[in-house]
Structure 1
């Protein structure tokens, strides 16, 4: 009896792009021929990320003309 846990299917990047366009509800990542489905990002994650980015921009002065 074979274990299905060790079976992974190899995809080309072109196949991944086609599959990604048909499956819009999942975030997917392609790595070396394999496709990994990822959990969706929580809205709070984006808020925290943006606040941190703005803090760095304000602190280091990115975007200011010297």
Structure 2
């Protein structure tokens, strides 16, 4: 079974940040996401890898 795509709200909760922060990271830091229509979608495994690899030093900022 494939991993589900999650919303910006779900990812913000997962990371403990605001949805605005998630959107800023999309624009400024290249957080892994795809845009479907007006909505952004995320996979937790890709996001967690991004935090470990690229975003870890500034993920809390």
| Range class of TM-score, shorter chain | under 0.3
* Greater RCO (Cα-Cα under 8 Å, separation 6 or more): 2
TM-score normalised to the size of structure 1? 0.26
